[in-house]
Structure 1
């Protein structure tokens, strides 16, 4: 298991400025692609305690679940399957049975640097990553529920983002990150992103 951490250090000028803005938060997002050209960013953590130094840690441990959509003549319901541990190169399937069984295993059809999600019932994929000791959703099928018999490649990217916002919401996924600072993570270990007095970010 590989472990990563990012410490965000703020110059006192910026710490005071952002702390004075009502409801502003320091936000953190991870990047995931679905096998195509587009990359999606999911906000996975935020804090309204704008401190001089803030740290977030994560690992390369992932889990999959399926969010199953069930409809009858009188009701539409959503149910999340149990989560299963997955590794790169694995294929995960949600079966068409009463329990919506989810299973996973290595497959030559799956990308070596990511995962393949398939479904026999209408559902969406949920990918979780271990962040600060808890599994947190970092991707859900961007187009919503997948029709039965669909498949989706999901590839975590070696990029994270930090930014300040007064309206960001956890588990919100977007294609664009605006003024967020993009940080490329090369290999496990500890990284530090510093916002200096001039408003410039540096990475060490």
Structure 2
């Protein structure tokens, strides 16, 4: 029995979704790749291991730049992690930080043959306030001038809006993006023709009265 379909909301503070690769690195696929070289002169096919790694590297790179395009639409100053600063995805250390904004992280991890994309608040103190609750209520009022409940709602809307922007960008780029339907099954996200990228971007930026319709 396999390990099942991955799902996590980082203790109620974020969201995840599944990205399935468009290759399988099977022996049959490799043989088909090698046949392309039979009609060429002077070129030699890569060995299996190099070919398989190149497929993985290309997939990871294409995924990164599709997500970057989605984040550029938000315009919230997301950047790639700086190794010298030892930046890490704040909600779960099993995720590698892909991009960081002012207060939201986008991270990735592997799960069997899939890639899992996660979105969660950046600041550990913010994540703890959202996750743990009432003992932080006074700190929340002092730091953010709002109630804990309002902070939870605000970050919930922002995380969901950012997840939708990334999902719809990936789907329109032809990526197989999925959500869990049971312990061992998943279904594909479909493109929403009427999806309002601008409204969702404003929700991520927390501009007033801009929460997108569900």
Q: Which has the larger radius of gyration?
A: 2
Structure with bigger strand share is 1
Instruction: Tell whether the structures are fold-level matches, with TM greater than 0.5.
Output: no
Shorter-chain TM-score category? under 0.3
Q: TM-score, normalised by structure 2?
A: 0.27
Structure with bigger helix share is 2
